[in-house]
Amino acid sequence: MGVDMSNNTKDLFSSPALSLSLAGIFRHGSMEVDDGDEGSRGGERREETTVEISSENSGAVLRSSADDYFEGEDDDDGGGNDDDDDDGDGDKNKKKKKKKKKRKKYHRHTAEQIREMEALFKESPHPDEKQRQQLSKQLGLAPRQVKFWFQNRRTQIKAIQERHENSLLKTELEKLRDENRAMRETSNKSCCPNCGIATTNVDGSFSTGENQLRIENAKLKAEVEKLRATLGKYPPGTTSPSCSAGHDDEENRSSLDSYNGIFGLDKSRIMEIVNQATEELVKMANIGEPLWVRSVETGREILNYDEYVEEFSVKYSCSGSPKRFIEASRETAFVFMDLPRLVQSFLDVNQWKEMFPCLISKAANVNVICNGEGSNRNGAVQLMFAELQMLTPMVPTREVYFVRCCKQLSEEQWAIIDVSIDKVEDNIDTSLVKCRKRPSGCIIEDKSNGHCKVIWVEHLECQKSTVHTMYRAIVNSGLAFGARHWITTLQLQCERLVFYMATNVPMKDSTGVATLAGRKSILKLAQRMTWNFCHAVGASSFHTWNKVTGKTGEDIRISSRKNLNDPGEPIGVILSAVSSVWLPVSPNILFDFLRDEARRSEWDIMFSGGSVHSIANLAKGQDRGNVVNIQKIESKENNSTWILQDSCTNDYESMVVYAPVDITGMQSVMTGCDSSNIAIMPSGFSILPDGMEARPLVITSRQEEKYTEEGSLFTMAFQILANASPTAKLSTEPVESVKSLVSCTLRNIRTSLQCEDS
């Protein structure tokens, strides 16, 4: 099966325009689909509609500006072919005049032409041949001019994004340098509190605690440098030569030519390990009992470790120390995404992070070991780094370095294989790598109508770490970082992408927005808002959390950060406050309560007593809980506030994320304008089951009373702008305000759900 993945830098949302039918998703006869774009009349309905996908997947094949905007004869070849006077007597002025005559004519597009092309670009950055032909006739341009204009526009946007990302990384690097300098000064001034003698030994050796801090700081520096090198593979401040596709190929070739082993192992040994891991993953994915045994209490598959050691004794005859433990899980599900795009999302580290925002706080493609064969990159192997998180600062993150391989197994099957290798790069301290991947990944099988069957295997070996009692059950059970979490998140994101590109969403699930472009802009803004929320809540090394106590006794973690130049959120000092508690309420009940606009005034102290009206309602998944809302809140003083709310739910986790938005800016987004410059600062909630799946049933003769009391692990996070100046110091006033906000909101939720004594 030919899988075209030639363009490996595309954003998941910046893909070719697709005309997708959701008839395969909405199978209930009661759902009516708007046929305005399909040309049907009245009650005439087709039982099945086909999925039409644009065949064009052209990347930003970049040309020189001369090809885009000039016409006429070709320039000189640069040699003597254009000059008949080779006797050396021709004067320079004559040559200049001759070149001037042959110089191509410059054509500048009119304002109307640019406006029309910009309008199409917002809706479809990669127009197909038919769209380009139609636009060229409408504007009086050659199809070639239209094609090159779109190529140059994509290049321009990509260059802006690269410069912005490099600026952020440079800021992060400076922050790490400041921390390193502060630690050095602290260590020089440190002394024993009893005797007053400096703790630094005469021979200059460091104390254990100080040495650990320095190692941690050096590791963070190395990560930032790798991230900076990974983004476009060029240092900050330099102009990315992305205007030449051939240059990228040259760079990849040169990096592979100079490859001499990044693990202290040669390339052939790495490929041998990858092949062994592929064989093991395929067996782990396909073999049932006795290797996998299904739990009677939970229905989950459990790895029979004795059988595993016997089956794979050559590779893992002796497993680690008692300080390490094994997590293994397997899940199978169907996702609505075509095979080429799904495989591509695992190879492109940026798309991979976008696909799993609640699980991945940091990720980088550290090095390319093998580019793979052909345009489908079959056999591609790359070294990757990831920091895995839960949406709470109370559970430590897991950092893992691993090799990822993309391999075609058959005409309809591909495998994504992840495996850690014992010896990593010289500048990575292996003592700090507390988590490693045994052969893990997924088997992807192409099915009809754009569906894929995915078998996910997650197999980790981790050092034991201290986990808060409240989260111990869900972490120790393997649910927190297991296959179910990964595959349910994948299903949710694939559905979101399908609804983003769909042209015939049921009318009752898409109200308040008149145009397809407006719908896309709102969904894209909501996606960015949710990503920002996930990024701000976890225990990632991006944040430094300080523990304080709320007014009602709950633990609150507070962190601050400075936004210097990111237009996506307010400029200044941003304060985050997070609190995680257990509530004796079912996750479904808690989720429905928080997303219900009619009950918002019961918990939201910022709009207590105000009336809430829905302006727009956009479905983004099959479940009715997966929806984006725009809500208008009228306060008692007749002041209006608009709220953008993104609700997400799957079999593992639910989220409600919201943020106040500028009314004028939001109205422009609803018409289809670009939302990237809309400043947004989200707050919200994460809801998990408490992990007590094996809790014994109540003993009773009445069948309807046989149930287990469900509980929820509830995390609430609020972000406020503490100061509009990025250079200002954090004062105590905003800290007290956000503490009060957390305590009062939690008290209101407990009161409304009648669980005050929990």
Angle at 14 between CA 8 and CA 17, to 5 degrees: 110
Give the pLDDT confidence score for residue 60 in this predicted structure.
37
Reference 288, options 327, 330, 317; nearest CA is 330
Pairing state of beta strands 611-619 and 510-511?
antiparallel
User: Bridge-partner residues for 291, per DSSP?
Assistant: none
Handedness of CA 334, 335, 341, 346 (dihedral sign): negative
> Is-contact 404 420, C-beta < 8 A?
no
Give the pLDDT confidence score for residue 214 in this predicted structure.
61
What is the DSSP code (8-state) at residue 371? -
Give the pLDDT confidence score for residue 391 in this predicted structure.
93
Give the pLDDT confidence score for residue 365 in this predicted structure.
87
In angstroms, the Cα distances linking 428 to 180, 214, 261, 422 are 18, 13, 15, 12
> At 111, is the secondary structure helix, strand, or coil?
helix
Residues of the chain with pLDDT under 50: 6-9, 15-21, 23-89, 193-198, 200-207, 232-263, 314, 316-320, 424-427, 431, 694-708
H or E segment to which residue 738 belongs: helix 732-752
| Four-point Cα dihedral 226, 358, 295, 467, nearest 10 | 80
How far apart (Å, rounded) are the C-alpha atoms in residues 251 and 353?
24
> Is-contact 346 416, C-beta < 8 A?
yes
H or E segment to which residue 109 belongs: none
Give the pLDDT confidence score for residue 443 in this predicted structure.
95
Give the pLDDT confidence score for residue 33 in this predicted structure.
34
How far apart (Å, rounded) are the C-alpha atoms in residues 230 and 365?
6
Handedness of CA 67, 69, 73, 78 (dihedral sign): negative
- The per-residue pLDDT for range 528-575, each reduced to its tens digit, is 999 999 999 988 877 889 888 877 778 899 999 888 888 888 999 999
Cis peptide before 290 (omega within 30 of 0): yes
> Is-contact 448 479, C-beta < 8 A?
no
Residue located via tokens 């020089």: 188
Reference 714, options 653, 659, 649; nearest CA is 653
Using only the alpha carbons of the chain, give its radius of gyration. 29
Residue located via tokens 């905007």: 69
| 79-101 residues labelled b (16+ CB within 10 A) or e (exposed) | eeeeeeeeeeeeeeeeeeeeeee
Give backbone dihedrals phi and psi of 718, rounded to 5 degrees, phi first: -130, 140
Please, how many CA atoms are within 13 Å of residue 384, restricted to the half-sphere of its CB?
26
In angstroms, the Cα distances linking 145 to 103, 117, 149, 511 are 18, 11, 6, 38
> Is-contact 328 293, C-beta < 8 A?
no
Reported for 548-552, long-range contacts at CB under 8 A and 24+ positions apart, including other chains, are 548/735, 548/739, 550/579, 550/739, 550/742, 550/743, 550/746, 551/739, 551/740, 551/743, 551/744, 552/743, 552/746, 552/747
Give the pLDDT confidence score for residue 211 in this predicted structure.
57
The set of residues, in sequence order, having a beta carbon less than 8 Å from that of 607 and lying 6+ positions away, is 600, 601, 633, 635, 641
Give backbone dihedrals phi and psi of 288, rounded to 5 degrees, phi first: -95, -130
Residue located via tokens 């500028």: 662
